[in-house]
A and B are shown apart, each in its own frame.
Chain A
Amino acid sequence: MNATSTEQASAPVTEDALRGALAGERPSNPGPVLTSLTFGWRALLKIKHVPEQLVDVTMFPIMFTLMFTYLFGGALAGSTQEYLQFLLPGILVQANVMITMNTGITLNTDIQKGVFDRFRSLPVWRPSPLVGALLGDVMRYSIGSAIVITLGLILGFRPEGGAVGVVLSVVLLLVFSFCLSWLWTMLSLILRTPNSVAGVSMMVMFPLTFVSNIFVDPKTMPGWLQAAVEVNPITHLATVVRGLMHGSVPAGEIGWVLVSSVLLVAVLGPITMVLYRNKK
């Protein structure tokens, strides 16, 4: 109704106006950094217009932090306060890793809606729509991290590593999340609907985050499960974040996280670009 009334009011398309609009110049094509940032700007605009999409970076981590601290804190670590010191860095990892799934769902929606074709038909550096979307997601991860840390501080989390440790661990987490997002980007180019992307992502993410040292010390697990926890990259990431926040710098583990981040992009990036180029 609203739209119709405006259409009635709007001026008809006149040939003169059209002529003016068509006599356009032809600026030179911008470089990859600028186009990626421009696509990142689009992601931010989408957050502005559809703030509901921030539910996963706000409500979800809050819920998990509160639930785990108060449900299991006493049983697992003797007191909720003590458990919080152990849990919070882990929850931070879990929240970020979970938020990365949104990348795939968003991209798949773009493909369904046809806006993807518009972007692919532009003379820009080909990965820039994907890189830009991931840059926009880094903003989401930052929001999620800020919320978890703030909530933690309110509940009594006291990082011994101080502000520097917290900031460093968040930066590392953002790097890893950015790299992991390529997995979901790749998936969204293979699967047909946003729902199936969400389904498959959940199937991967749940075991990946729970079969790790995020919630409990693996020492109490059976041997075979400990082995699984040990090879899970999320375990290493949680160890690093926990270490940095509490003042010990596990250099070897940091290297491990950085190497796996680079590997993720090095392997998934090219596969994703081939899929992107050949997408029907």
Chain B
Amino acid sequence: MGTFAIETSGLKKSFGKTHAVAGVDLAVSAGGVYGVLGPNGAGKTTAIRMLATLLRPDAGEAQVLGYDVVRDARAVRSRVGLTGQFASVDEDLTGVENLLLLARLLGYSRRRGRERAGDLLDAFGLAEAADRQVKKYSGGMRRRIDIAASLVVTPELIFLDEPTTGLDPRSRNQVWEIVRGMVAEGTTVLLTTQYLDEADQLADRIAVIDHGKVIAEGSSGQLKASVGAGSLQVRLRAPGQRAEAERVLAGVLEVQVEPSADPAALSARISDPERVARSLAELSRSGIDVTEFALGQPSLDEVFLALTGHAAEETPEETPEETPEEDAA
């Protein structure tokens, strides 16, 4: 097996007519963070559920930490942690009860389990909320207790399925800190996300997945290079000048300029940030007033546009009842 924490070949899973995962090949090295980036319904959760032994693949092979996910499911289960897209702890129980329950199930004595639960609650800043029912937790606290629940026995590999979706920036930063902390301690993290900046911040390598297939794989630098340096957004005072502004920008930037949905706005994918300042100067020389401009990292949409030629779209038929794992509650 070598040094790979996860290795899959031709992994497939369908629900009815929907090919949720349509042949995924991954090779994830041990240590560090591996990001799986894709829109809702791309098959990220389905893939993770197969790797975590919750779902049987229809076809293909998958080995996690050297164990086959079907034949050695139990060996896999005792070595990995799983944190689902939505808090998967018992919300009727308190924080400490949830952790104690898991500690007992994983073989801790009552006394050691209680200590372990206390340590985790302290480490995750939940000590004060220990005796409160989880359903009364805020979104960020819930995500933290959920991650803590996956760490009762420190796993060699942890799956984090969209750990920051729906969190405010402060809670998101806390989750990122936790992820970095886990990596520093030698745990391998497989993280799915819809946000390019999250993958960029955390992941050493990223697989971009769309319609159940890996469409690009590499470091974040490699991916971004394939997309361009980012995008320029410009908003004009007078919507009537948009056509002229488009011409001016296109002339300086030497790329295609797209009108936005906002009738006074334009955007352009840029390859050379140097030219941006010149293009703005050129606009003002032409008598076109700019009220706002922004230079942003390429968004997931732009990555998708660049990689697939279509925008990142949700796959509606895969969402609600057919695949509860992509579903909210």
Contacts and interface: CB of A to CB of B under 8 A. Distances in A.
Nearest to B94: A49
Interface in A1-34: 2-4, 6-7, 9-15, 17-24, 26-30, 34
A246 interface: no
A13 B323 contact: no
Nearest to B76: A123
A4 B124 contact: no
A109 to B, nearest CB: 10
B125 A121 contact: no
Interface of A: 2-4, 6-7, 9-15, 17-24, 26-30, 34-35, 38-39, 41-42, 45-46, 49-50, 110-118, 120-124, 192, 278, 280
A280 B323 contact: yes
Contact of A12 (B87, B125, B141): B125
What are the 3 A-B residue pairs with the smallest beta carbon separation, nearest first? A27-B107, A123-B78, A21-B123
Given A23-B185, A46-B92, A124-B105, A13 B178 contact: yes
Given A12-B174, A13-B125, A46 B93 contact: yes
A10 B88 contact: no
A10 B86 CA distance: 22
A2 B91 CA distance: 16
Question: Size band of the B side of the interface?
Answer: 35 or more
Given A9-B128, A35-B105, A121-B54, A45 B123 contact: no
A280 B324 contact: yes
A80 to B, nearest CB: 41
B169 to A, nearest CB: 14
5 contacts: A18-B123, A27-B153, A45-B97, A112-B329, A114-B84
B77 A122 contact: yes
Nearest to B159: A121
Given A21-B120, A123-B106, 17 more contacts: A3-B137, A10-B126, A15-B180, A18-B123, A18-B177, A18-B181, A22-B154, A22-B181, A24-B116, A34-B104, A38-B101, A115-B89, A117-B84, A120-B54, A192-B321, A278-B56, A280-B55
A121 B106 contact: no
A20 B119 contact: yes
Among A10, A13, A278, chain B packs the most CB atoms within 10 A around the CB of A13
B144 interface: yes
Contacts of B174: 12-13
A7 B53 CA distance: 34
A39 B97 CA distance: 12
Contacts of B125: 10-13
A13 to B, nearest CB: 5
A173 to B, nearest CB: 27
Contacts of A280: 15, 55, 323-325
Nearest to B120: A21
Contacts of B123: 13-14, 17-18, 20-21
Contacts of B141: 3, 6-7, 10
Given A10-B127, A13-B177, A122-B106, A29 B88 contact: no
B215 interface: no
Contact of A29 (B106, B133, B181, B184): B106
A46 B132 CA distance: 13
B136 interface: yes
A42 B101 contact: yes
Nearest to B112: A27
A19 B93 contact: no
A114 B88 contact: yes
Interface in B38-85: 49, 52-56, 74, 77-78, 80, 82, 84-85
B129 interface: yes
Among B55, B138, B187, chain A packs the most CB atoms within 10 A around the CB of B138
A22 B151 contact: yes
Among A4, A41, A112, A280, chain B packs the most CB atoms within 10 A around the CB of A280
B88 A117 contact: yes
A47 to B, nearest CB: 10
B149 interface: yes
A161 B185 CA distance: 66
Contact of A121 (B82, B136, B181): B82
A110 B89 CA distance: 10
A13 B90 contact: no
B295 interface: no
B23 to A, nearest CB: 19
Contacts of A118: 82, 84, 88-89, 102, 149
